[in-house]
């Protein structure tokens, strides 16, 4: 009932409430962000990994750092898991955390900043010194309604930072990067060499990755005369590393020191996370929850195949009470890359989980037995219809709907043989599953390990 009543309150009224909370929180805690350097990281994909990379570089440079990200919190030497399922916390929780960072003697705060928190004034009063944007791709259209409004919300972080005369760091390879460059402050752009943007009119420093080598487990590239080695695959992780390197440069940290720090990172929990096993299969866990992130992930997975007999078995779902239009797109993208697809429950919140599963599944079977027109715009339907590289899958033969997530994972592991690849997406390193107003203990890696043990 409470959830239903909340849904009746217009968002602009909720935003006034959030703004009041933020003002009060800043007054109570004494505007603590003014006492350290705040680096804000926003974007659709890559925020969490970029935050972890920035923290590692700063710490290797001898800085004392606090961090708040989707997966974890850090106050100097103390670190713990983020179990809230929020990227950016409420105004009071955020200001309290910043105050604790100041009390712990931290010089820097690296704050993963969501579009929701920016639009809702939850980070009002945070004195950002640096703003980073990784990219803007389709997500949260249930809330923002249009990509234009979504991008506008992200841009608020840059307006705040520019007002503070801070540094702006922009992915030049993203769509319309110039929207985030139109400020008269220090600007650093980064690219993997795919940018078509002419940067001469924006008075910015640009760093470009060269001699890129993409492996299934690691990536190599060069910036200037400095070589970089990442123990993470994918061009998108090179983009994340470049973003973190730009932060380093803005803080007077050398390319050599940034490279050394990044090389020490062995991976980020829940992001291309490998699960060791005795079955001889590759098991990958990834947070990927958008069409763009799934496309990038499965490009890597395709290159992991060990021959013609190597099969890809996918397990995925979609979050409830979020952008419905992306669901069949996600299902279709995975269907194009995986030999077998299992659609399952993820975080339904108060939405009917069967409807969510059906809408993702519609993309897998190309809508053969499901009318997805109510969930998709005409533009989305056109996109979906263009994705016809292979024949649609057939339920019961190479794709299934399995409500219980543990059962879905078990099915994938039972099907897999040596040389196969099992990919489980949507949860990453999360510790809970949201069902209604309950938070059920859940961790994909732990469940996989438990089911592998049963198969011995």
Give residue 11's pLDDT band: very low, low, confident or very high (50, 70, 90). confident
What is the mean pLDDT of the segment spanning 215-224? 93
Among residues 286, 264, 205, the alpha carbon closest in space to that of 52 is found at: 264
Q: Confirm whether 73 is domain-assigned.
A: yes
CB under 8 A, 24+ apart: contacts of 33-37: 33/98, 33/109, 33/125, 33/126, 33/127, 33/128, 34/127, 35/102, 36/66, 36/98, 36/101, 36/102, 36/106, 36/107, 36/108, 36/109, 37/107, 37/108, 37/109, 37/129, 37/130, 37/251
Among residues 396, 395, 420, 401, the alpha carbon closest in space to that of 327 is found at: 401
Cα(108)–Cα(101) distance, integer angstroms = 8
What is the mean pLDDT of the segment spanning 158-177? 95
Indicate the SS3 state at residue 315: strand
Do 429 and 300 belong to one domain?
A: yes
- Last residue in a domain, options 263, 294, 324: 263
Residue 340 pLDDT greater than 70, yes or no: yes
- Report the pLDDT value the prediction gives residue 369, as an integer from 0 to 100: 44
Cα(187)–Cα(169) distance, integer angstroms = 6
- Please state, rounded to an integer, the average pLDDT across all residues of the chain: 91
Give residue 202's pLDDT band: very low, low, confident or very high (50, 70, 90). confident
Do 224 and 370 belong to one domain?
A: no
Give per-residue pLDDT as tens, 379-436.
Answer: 655 655 555 445 678 999 999 999 999 999 999 999 999 999 999 999 999 999 999 9
Residue 367 pLDDT greater than 60, yes or no: no
Residue 5 pLDDT greater than 60, yes or no: no
Residue 301 pLDDT greater than 80, yes or no: yes
Q: Confirm whether 112 is domain-assigned.
A: yes
Question: In this structure, what is the dihedral angle of CA atoms 54, 57, 62, 67, given to the nearest 10 degrees?
Answer: 20
Q: Confirm whether 268 is domain-assigned.
A: no
Do 78 and 105 belong to one domain?
A: yes
Give residue 143's pLDDT band: very low, low, confident or very high (50, 70, 90). confident
Q: Confirm whether 303 is domain-assigned.
A: yes
Binning the chain into helix, strand and coil, the percentages to the nearest 5 are: 40, 20, 40
Cα(60)–Cα(282) distance, integer angstroms = 32
Do 150 and 231 belong to one domain?
A: yes
Query: 195 or 95, which is more confident?
Result: 95
Q: Confirm whether 204 is domain-assigned.
A: yes
Q: At what angle do helices 47-60 and 255-263 cross, to 10 degrees?
A: 110
Q: Domain holding 285: CATH number?
A: 3.90.190.20
- Report the pLDDT value the prediction gives residue 383, as an integer from 0 to 100: 54
- Report the pLDDT value the prediction gives residue 15, as an integer from 0 to 100: 84
Lowest mean pLDDT segment, chosen from 66-70, 146-150, 281-285: 146-150
Do 209 and 245 belong to one domain?
A: yes
Among residues 208, 159, 54, the alpha carbon closest in space to that of 168 is found at: 159
SS (H, E, C) 253-285: CCHHHHHHHHHCCCCECCECEECCCCCCCEEEE
Give residue 353's pLDDT band: very low, low, confident or very high (50, 70, 90). very high
Give residue 320's pLDDT band: very low, low, confident or very high (50, 70, 90). very high
Query: 140 or 349, which is more confident?
Result: 349
What is the mean pLDDT of the segment spanning 177-198? 86
HSE-up of residue 360 (Cα within 13 Å, Cβ side): 33
Residue 125 pLDDT greater than 80, yes or no: yes
Do 82 and 142 belong to one domain?
A: yes
By residue range, what is the domain housing residue 431? 273-454
Do 26 and 135 belong to one domain?
A: yes
Q: Confirm whether 426 is domain-assigned.
A: yes
Do 440 and 420 belong to one domain?
A: yes
**119, 308, 352, 440 from 432: Cα distances, Å:** 26, 37, 18, 5
Do 51 and 15 belong to one domain?
A: yes
Give per-residue pLDDT as tens, 239-267.
Answer: 999 999 999 999 999 999 999 999 999 98
Do 217 and 303 belong to one domain?
A: no
Q: Domain holding 220: CATH number?
A: 3.40.1190.10
Do 366 and 385 belong to one domain?
A: yes
Do 187 and 293 belong to one domain?
A: no
- Last residue in a domain, options 199, 231, 263: 263
**Number of domains making up the chain:** 2
- Last residue in a domain, options 263, 290, 324: 263
Q: Confirm whether 1 is domain-assigned.
A: no
| Ramachandran class of 64: left when φ > 0, alpha when ψ lies in -120 to 50, beta otherwise | beta
Residue 368 pLDDT greater than 60, yes or no: no
Q: Confirm whether 78 is domain-assigned.
A: yes
What is the mean pLDDT of the segment spanning 43-66? 97
């Amino acid at each position: 009932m409470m959830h239903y009543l909340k849904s009746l309150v217009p968002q602009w009224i909720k935003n006034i409430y959030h703004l009041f909370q933020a003002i009060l929180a800043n007054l109570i805690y004494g505007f603590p962000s003014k006492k350290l350097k705040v680096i804000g990281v926003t974007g659709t994909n890559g925020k969490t990994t970029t935050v972890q990379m920035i923290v590692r570089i700063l710490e290797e440079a001898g800085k004392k750092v606090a961090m708040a990200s989707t997966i974890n919190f850090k106050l100097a030497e103390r670190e713990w898991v983020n179990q809230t399922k929020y990227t950016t916390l409420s105004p009071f929780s955020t200001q309290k955390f910043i105050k604790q960072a100041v009390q712990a003697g931290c010089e820097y705060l690296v704050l993963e900043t969501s579009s929701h928190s920016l639009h809702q004034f939850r980070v009002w009063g945070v004195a950002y010194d640096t703003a980073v944007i990784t990219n803007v791709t389709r997500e949260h259209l249930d809330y923002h309604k249009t990509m234009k409004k979504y991008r506008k919300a992200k841009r608020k972080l840059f307006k705040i930072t520019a007002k503070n005369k801070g540094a702006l760091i922009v992915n030049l390879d993203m769509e319309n990067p110039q929207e985030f460059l139109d400020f008269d402050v220090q600007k650093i752009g980064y690219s993997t060499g795919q940018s078509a943007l002419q940067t001469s009119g924006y008075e910015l420093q640009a760093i470009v990755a060269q001699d890129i080598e993409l492996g299934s487990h690691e990536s190599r590239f060069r910036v200037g005369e400095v070589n970089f080695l990442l123990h993470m695959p994918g061009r998108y992780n090179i983009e994340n590393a470049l973003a973190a390197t730009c932060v380093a440069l803005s803080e007077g940290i050398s390319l050599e020191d940034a490279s050394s720090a990044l090389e020490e990172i062995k991976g980020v929990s829940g992001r291309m996370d490998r699960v060791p096993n005795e079955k001889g299969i590759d098991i990958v866990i990834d947070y990927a929850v958008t069409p763009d992130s799934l496309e990038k992930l499965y490009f890597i997975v395709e290159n992991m195949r060990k021959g013609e007999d190597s099969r890809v078995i996918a397990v995925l779902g979609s979050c409830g009470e979020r952008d419905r239009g992306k669901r069949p797109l996600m299902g279709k993208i995975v269907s194009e890359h995986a030999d077998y697809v299992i659609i399952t429950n993820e975080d339904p919140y108060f939405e009917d989980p069967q409807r969510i599963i059906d809408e993702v599944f519609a993309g897998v079977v190309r809508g053969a037995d499901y009318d997805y027109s109510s969930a998709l715009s005409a533009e989305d339907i056109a996109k979906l219809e263009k994705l016809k590289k292979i024949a649609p899958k057939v339920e019961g033969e190479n794709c299934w709907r399995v409500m219980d997530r543990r059962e879905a994972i078990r099915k994938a592991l039972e099907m897999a043989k040596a040389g196969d690849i099992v990919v489980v997406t949507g949860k990453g390193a999360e510790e809970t599953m949201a069902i209604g107003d309950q938070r059920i203990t859940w961790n994909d890696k732990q469940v996989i390990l438990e089911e592998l043990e049963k198969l011995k």
